Amino acid sequence: MNTRLITTESELILLGDSWNRLIGTNSETNAPFYSWEWFYNTWLYFGKPQGWTFAVTAVFDGDELIGILPLIQSRKRSFGISYRVFSFCDVGISPRNMIYFDSNRDSIAIFRAITNKLFEERNLWDMLEFSNIPVTSSFHRFCLEEKIPHSALIRWQGFRAPYIELNGTLDDYFEMLDGKTRKDLRRRMRKFKEYGDNKKVQFFDRPEEIGVGLELLFEVHRRSWKGEFSNLRYHEFYKKITSILSKRNDVIIVVTILNSIPISAGYILQNSDTYFSLVNDHDKKFRDIAPGMILFVHELDNLINTGRKFFDFCGTAYDYKEKLSNGILDHSTFQIFSNGIKSRFLYSAKTFWLPLFRKIQRKPEPDDLITKIKRF
């Protein structure tokens, strides 16, 4: 195996086709937000303006790409020092992160090749940060079990992402819910039906129409409790990535319309068995009729009708999501340190000095800290 650290845009562009072929070989990474276009455009619209550069580790067998860890390099500041971080390109868009590898190959050998390369290049970073890795993934197990020499590791609690696994009809799903939630959902659906011809739920999934759906979603977002996007690059990112993914049938935009006014909207990415719900917004003026819940039920009904089995809420486990779900996918964030002077200082500051100051100030330890492992 040959392992390379990709640091330039021109090198990354050459990986596009082989990158997308690779994620399609593995059920762990068969999702649109793992695609080359998603990573590249996230960097282009959010990372590049901040001066972030690429730190993508790629593993080849001959000319064949068999593994990728898609990181970027940035600078952070804490404890009075500036330090370099290799991390995922997290800007609040991607629901989770992963190392990509050919499932027909030896995954441990690929993971070792990547971590060995990163430690060969440890003069370029002071901390590695692998955020929101699913606990069910093989890479998560590797991070916990693999004894990387001359390193230290901190594991933090990441996202808790509710999901629904379906085995039947929409009525079967309703019967799965607790009595109060089921009654509330049905009451809201009956109330929505009373609007007659003045209401509709519209699905946009064809390339020639999806731009209309996206503008309606932006309109709903502006009138939601979230308000206008604080960074207009979000508009540009979603326009660009939606135009690409819609040609692959990877994206659906769902809009609830009442009296010709869009009152809720959802942005869904899909693969052969799952809907990934990235956005579910509603006009706060209409919250009394729960337009977000109405939208969700129609999304779920469409998922069942297309033969898919999973609805992934993605992101944070809000109470209402947990009530609607029958499973939780936990994630972890790993911070890894080398035996370099600045790296060892960061590890000590996070695991000794900061807890000591909290103890002196009688402040509790953060409840998202799970594991500390030192191998210096």
For residue 317, the Cα-to-chain-centroid distance in whole angstroms is: 13
The two structure tokens encoding residue 189: 């659906």
Mean pLDDT of 250-263: 96
Share of the chain above pLDDT 70, in %: 98
Round the average pLDDT of the chain to a whole number and report it.
Answer: 92
Mean pLDDT of 224-245: 88
Q: What's the whole-model pTM score?
A: 0.93
For 288-335, write each residue's pLDDT tens digit.
889 999 999 999 999 999 999 999 999 777 889 999 999 999 999 999
C-beta separation of 35 from 41 below 8 A? no
Q: How far apart are CA 126 and CA 248, in angstroms?
A: 39
Tokens 């917004």, residue located: 281
Query: Given this model, what pLDDT does residue 376 score?
Result: 64
C-beta separation of 43 from 113 below 8 A? no
Q: How far apart are CA 131 and CA 133, in angstroms?
A: 6
C-beta separation of 96 from 330 below 8 A? no
Query: Given this model, what pLDDT does residue 220 score?
Result: 95
Q: Is the pLDDT of residue 122 over 90?
A: yes
- 53-61 vs 64-78, strand pairing mode: antiparallel
H runs (alpha helix) in the chain: 9-14, 16-23, 36-42, 107-120, 138-145, 170-176, 179-193, 210-222, 233-245, 291-305, 319-324, 341-348, 354-360
Query: Given this model, what pLDDT does residue 304 score?
Result: 96
- By CB atoms closer than 10 A (0-12, 13-18, 19+), residue 51 is exposed
For 67-86, write each residue's pLDDT tens digit.
999 999 999 999 999 999 99
Query: Given this model, what pLDDT does residue 232 score?
Result: 81
CATH superfamily of 167-308: Gcn5-related N-acetyltransferase (GNAT) (3.40.630.30)
Using pLDDT thresholds of 50, 70 and 90, give the confidence band for residue 367: low
Using pLDDT thresholds of 50, 70 and 90, give the confidence band for residue 269: very high
Share of the chain above pLDDT 90, in %: 80
Query: Given this model, what pLDDT does residue 230 score?
Result: 65
The two structure tokens encoding residue 264: 């809720």
Helix 179-193 / helix 291-305 crossing angle, nearest 10 deg: 100
* Domain segments of the chain as ranges: 2-159+330-374, 167-308
For 132-181, write each residue's pLDDT tens digit.
999 999 999 999 888 787 789 999 999 999 999 999 999 999 999 999 99
C-beta separation of 95 from 161 below 8 A? yes
> Options 3.90.1170.50, 3.30.565.10, 3.30.390.10, 3.40.630.30; which CATH number does 2-159+330-374 get?
3.40.630.30
C-beta separation of 282 from 255 below 8 A? no
The two structure tokens encoding residue 295: 């939208």
- The separation between the first and the last C-alpha atoms of the chain, rounded to the nearest angstrom, is 27
